[in-house]
Homo-oligomer: A and B are copies of this chain.
Amino acid sequence: RIPPESFQTFKCEAPSLDVKVKKEDLLSMYKSMVAMRRMEMAADGLYKAKLIRGFCHLCTGQEAVGVGMEAALSEHDKVITAYRSHGFTYMRGGTISSILGELLGRKTGISGGKGGSMHMFTSNFFGGNGIVGAQVPIGAGIAFTQKYLGNKAATFIFYGDGAANQGQVFEAFNMAKLWNLPAVFVCENNKYGMGTSASRSSANTAYYTRGDYIPGIKVNGMDVLAVNQAVSYAKDWTVSAEKGPLVLEMETYRYSGHSMSDPGITYRSREEIQDVRAANDPVSGLKECLLENKVVSEDEIKSMDKSARARVDKAMEEAKASPQPDIEEFWTHVYKKGYEVPFLRGREPEEFHRYR
């Protein structure tokens, strides 16, 4: 049973507080969370070693969102998010080595090294999008497709507290409601959009109420079980009950800076971060829950932690061992293979590629 504060609702009932999860699912969630955190720590290290370039947005602190979500979804359900995408990519089937490989810009990267940190995709995960807010109507279109094709699948559309003000979000809300789309809009409220706190960017920080005519639920996004419960509820709502769109607000926290170039402590205090880590950390939270409820022993925890670390280390070595993409890949995928333009030009007239 999770605490009643786990949910706050807007124009709908709360999900049940009675959580029924199998032991193996709990363990699997724990393993995922630890692996995800380890993976992000690895990315942090690789960035600092100057092996990762450009932007790199970590999801440490927010692991419960992706993990709790995935545990409630099937492979038929769809997910889309912005640039803070490593964790989701992992949950949606991307291997750790393909994710780290992408960060390193290697051939075995999940996008062949062409996308980098912000642009990762799997067959039911649509990225990995760099333009704040743009993924929201795109997500509505993915939901539209499920309805069009008669698929019994929900689409979960993630966006940040900063992104929540983008006009496109409201345009997507409107169409999703008008057309009763199986779309769940999930505001991942990690309290800041870059250096701007939610209350400085948003006239209404109760993001779960901002769908107006779309009901909403605020969820304790630091508790993987609450997330899981809310996502199950949302899936039922929009797929089984065909009640149309729903808004979820996941209250969570970003430990790291916005991206690697942001120390993350000019607009908030170190204590603030420490306090969340100490009182609210999603990984420790689940660990304690497992221990308290005697689902596992300390030793089992340690061994899971160790094996997560080993997995990530191994994946990192694999990724590092991968060569850079072949130079020919520069020219592929501008257009779909077989349907290219006759040729493309490089930097000067004698640099070019002929497709046919």
- Chain A residues with a Cβ under 8 A of chain B: 165-171, 173-174, 177-178, 200-204, 209-210, 212-214
Contacts and interface: CB of A to CB of B under 8 A. Distances in A.
Contacts of A209: 212
Given A165-B171, A166-B167, A167-B167, A204 B210 contact: no
Nearest to A212: B204
Contacts of A171: 165-167
A160 to B, nearest CB: 15
A214 B213 CA distance: 16
23 contacts: A165-B171, A165-B174, A166-B167, A166-B171, A167-B167, A167-B168, A167-B169, A167-B170, A167-B171, A169-B170, A170-B170, A174-B203, A177-B203, A177-B204, A178-B201, A178-B202, A178-B203, A203-B212, A203-B214, A204-B212, A204-B213, A209-B212, A212-B212
Given A165-B174, A166-B167, A212-B212, 4 more contacts: A167-B168, A167-B170, A169-B170, A178-B202
A206 to B, nearest CB: 9
A169 to B, nearest CB: 7
Contact of A174 (B168, B174, B202): B202
Contact of A173 (B168, B173, B178, B203): B203
A166 B167 CA distance: 7
Nearest to A205: B213
A178 to B, nearest CB: 5
Nearest to A170: B170
Nearest to A245: B203
Contacts of A178: 200-203
Most chain B CB neighbours (cut-off 10 Å) among A168, A173, A177, A203: A203
Nearest to A244: B203
A184 B24 CA distance: 57
Contacts of A170: 165, 167, 169-170
Smallest CB-CB A-B distances: 7 pairs: A167-B167, A177-B203, A170-B170, A204-B213, A167-B171, A203-B213, A174-B203
A166 B202 CA distance: 18
A150 to B, nearest CB: 23
Contacts of A202: 174, 178
A213 B203 CA distance: 7
- A166, A168, A178, A209 — which one has the most chain B CB atoms within 10 A of its CB? A178
Contacts of A167: 166-171
Contacts of A166: 167, 171
A134 B177 CA distance: 24
A147 to B, nearest CB: 16
A208 to B, nearest CB: 12
Nearest to A176: B203
A213 B199 CA distance: 13
